[in-house]
Structure 1
C-alpha cells in the first residue's frame, strides 16, 4: 500500500516520459517502415529495369544500352537519372577528363555506363552500392554494355565503409599527388557531407583538382543545404562551379596548389 502512495506523486512524470518515448518509438517505426518500402520499391524497380534493358538492348553496344534505359524511363518509374542530367554529367566528364572516378549510388548501372564510355582507356570507375541485388544487376548491365572488369569495380557496402578501403582499392601512392578526379554522389543526400569529409580526411581527392557532382531528385534542393554551407565556409579549397535543376557541381583543390599556380603566373 505504501508503494502506491509513494508512486502517486510520480505519476505525472511517468506519463510525460512514457508519452515522449511513445512519440520517439512511433517516429522510429515510421522511419523503419518508410525505409522498408523504399527498399522494396527500389528492388522491384531495379529488377524491372534490368529485365527490360537486358532483353531489349543490343549487347555490347553502349549507345543501345543507354537508349533502352531512356526508353524504359519514358514509360515506367525509374531510379535512373534523367537524360537531361545525363547530358550535364557527360559535359562535366568531358571537361574534367578524369582517370579515377568514384560513384556513390549505383542504382541500375545507368550512370556507370555513361561515365565509363567517356573515360580514357586507362581510366577506372569505382561504383558503390549498398543493396547486394542492385549491385549484382547493375554490374551485369555494365558488362552487357561491353565494359570489362579491368575498367571498373563494384563495392557492395555502405559509402562510409567503401571510402575506408578506397586507397588500397585505387592503389594510390601515399607520397604522390594522386587521387580521385571526379566523384558522383547519387545516394542518400544526408550522407553527402559526411562522405565528402571522409574523402577529404583520407586524402582521396586529387589535390590538383577534383569535381564533385551532387545529384538531388524530386527538386529537393534543400537536401544539399548542409553540404553547400560547408563548401561556402571553405573558400580556401572549395567552390561551387555550377548549379543546375537537379545537379550541383563543386570543385576541390588544395590551397597550396592554388598558391603555387598563382605564384608561377
Structure 2
C-alpha cells in the first residue's frame, strides 16, 4: 500500500516534464496518457482503501460461519461508509435471478469485497460451484477470506487473481467442461470494468462457455449515467437469434443467452 501511494505521489511532479519534452499532437497524447494512468492509479488506491476498511469491519463484527450475518454486516457498514458492495436492493434482484435460474456453474467477474459471492453461494445447490475473478491481488485475498468467513469451502468456490481476459480461456479446463456436451455456465455476473463487458461476453461465446440451453448474464451498472458502456446491449439486441433482454433495472440488466437449436428442441 505504501509503495503504491509513493508511486502515485512520485509520478505527479513528472507530468510537467513529460509535457515539456513532448510537442504538438504528441504533447496532447502524452497528457491524455498521463491523466489516464494517474486516474487509474488513484482509483486503485481508493478501491484498496475501501476494500481494507470494509473487510476489517465485516471480519470483526459478523458472526463467523453465518452467511446471513456476513451480508447484514456488509449492509450495516454501507449505511455509513463508502462501499463497493452492490447493496441490498440490487442484492435482492440478484437473489431473485439466482433462485429462478438455479445455476450449477456461476462465473463472477469482479469479486470486490466478496459480498455478491456470498449472496450467490448461499443459494446454489449442493453441487453448485462459483468461480470469481478479481484483478487486484489484495482485493482477491480479502474477498476470499470473507467468503470463507461466511462458512463456504474451497470445494464450492474458487477465486482467480487475474484479468477477465486471462481467466476466461482457462475456465473450460477449470470447470471440467467438455465441448459438444451441452455443458456450460448457467449464470454470469459482470461487475468489473464496464468497458470489458462486451469483449468478455464475446470471449465467453468464442470459448463456448455459455450453456447452450440457457445462461443468464447479469450486468451491474454502478454509474447510472454510463448508459450502454462497451456496447454490450447493442450487441445483444442485434442477435435476437440467441439473446434477449430479460429485465432492465436501475442498477442491473439481465440478458439471456440460448442457442437457436436448443429452442427448437423444446
Q: TM-score, normalised by structure 2?
A: 0.90
Q: Work out which of the residue numbers 196, 204, 207 in structure 2 matches 1:202.
A: 207
Q: Work out which of the residue numbers 161, 166, 170 in structure 1 matches 2:166.
A: 161
Question: Which runs of no fewer than 5 residues in structure 2 stay unpaired?
Answer: 1-21
Aligned pair count reads: 245
Say if 2:225 is the partner of 1:220: yes
CA drift of 1:221 comes to 4.2
CA distance in 1, matches of 2:136, 2:159: 11
Say if 2:210 is the partner of 1:174: no
Task: Give secondary structure in 2 for the equivalent of 1:136.
Answer: helix
Task: Give secondary structure in 2 for the equivalent of 1:88.
Answer: helix
Counterparts in 2 of 1:1-265, with a 5 A limit? 18-224=23-229, 226-261=231-266
Q: Which runs of 4+ in 1 moved over 6 A?
A: none
CA drift of 1:18 comes to 2.9
Q: Deviations over 1:154-179 (max 9, x none)?
A: 00000010001000010002231100
Q: Is the 8 A contact 2:168 2:204 kept in 1?
A: yes
Higher deviation after alignment, 172-181 or 55-64: 172-181
Q: Is the 8 A contact 2:95 2:119 kept in 1?
A: yes
CA distance in 1, matches of 2:226, 2:245: 14
The alignment's C-alpha RMSD in Å is 1.0
